[in-house]
Amino acid sequence: MFTIISGAVLIMCMRICDVTIGTFRTILVVQSKKYHAAIAGFFEVLIWIFAMRYIVEHMDHTINLIGYAVGFALGNILGITLEQRVAIGYAQVNVISRHNTEDIAMALRKSRFGVTILPAEGSAGGVSILIVIVKRKFLNDLIKMIESIDKKAFITVQQSRPYRGYVHGPRV
């Protein structure tokens, strides 16, 4: 009985590892880090092959299949958590504030974030859009700063992959 449970735990651990690496590899692909993604992919598939070999040899135990599924689920959670902590790449933050555009821009620039202001037209008339390209590791600080000035500001965040030019975060 112990060997059956330990086999399921082994499968679960292998799946946690390969799915975590796979989740992280996907982010590397999106960020165009092809060599890093290739190395991660090598280890992801190597671990997956070992897990599959063990499962195929021991398919007669349902607990192994459950271990496989649990490992997959936990691997997704761990992979996303790791990726959020590492925060690879850049984000584009767009901000629309009805009355605090200048205050937000001034505070962000004071904190050494680059800000571009564009005129725009909303349903209620003229507005301005603040655009900030920021390293993802500074994203939470940037949003907290904006919300401290205008809790009702409309904020969108999207993935950004700079093509040309200098992109900076806070210049410390």
Express each pLDDT in 113-158 by its tens digit.
999 999 998 888 888 999 999 998 899 999 999 999 999 999 999 9
Last-in-domain residue among 86, 102, 131? 86
Q: Is residue 168 part of a domain?
A: no
Last-in-domain residue among 60, 86, 112? 86
Q: Is residue 75 part of a domain?
A: yes
Following DSSP, what letter does each residue of 67-133 receive, concatenated? HHHHHHHHHHHHHHHHHHHH--SEEEEEEE-SS-HHHHHHHHHHTT---EEEEEEETTEEEEEEEEE
Together in a domain, 81 and 95: no
Express each pLDDT in 10-20 by its tens digit.
999 999 999 99
Together in a domain, 59 and 118: no
What is the predicted pLDDT for the residue at 166?
A: 64
Per cent of the chain over pLDDT 90 is 63
Together in a domain, 116 and 79: no
Higher pLDDT, 118 or 1: 118
Higher pLDDT, 59 or 138: 138
Distance between CA atoms of residues 162 and 31, nearest Å? 10
Together in a domain, 142 and 101: yes
Higher pLDDT, 68 or 4: 68
Q: Is residue 78 part of a domain?
A: yes
pTM of the complete model = 0.69
Higher pLDDT, 168 or 31: 31
Q: Is residue 18 part of a domain?
A: yes
Together in a domain, 156 and 140: yes
Mean pLDDT of 75-81: 93
Together in a domain, 79 and 110: no
Burial track 75-89 (b if 16+ CB lie within 10 A, e otherwise): beebbeeebeeeeeb
User: In which band, very low, low, confident or very high, does the pLDDT at 172 lie, cut at 50, 70 and 90?
Assistant: very low
Last-in-domain residue among 86, 101, 136? 86
Distance between CA atoms of residues 69 and 12, nearest Å? 8
pLDDT at 170 over 70: no
Together in a domain, 11 and 45: yes
Together in a domain, 12 and 82: yes
**For residues 71 and 8, is the Cβ–Cβ distance under 8 A?**
no
Together in a domain, 65 and 94: no
Instruction: State which residues form the domain around 39.
Output: 2-86
The gap from C-alpha 56 to its chain's centroid, in whole angstroms, comes to 33
Distance between CA atoms of residues 112 and 171, nearest Å? 5
| Residue 43 CB partners (closer than 8 Å, separation 6+) | 18, 21
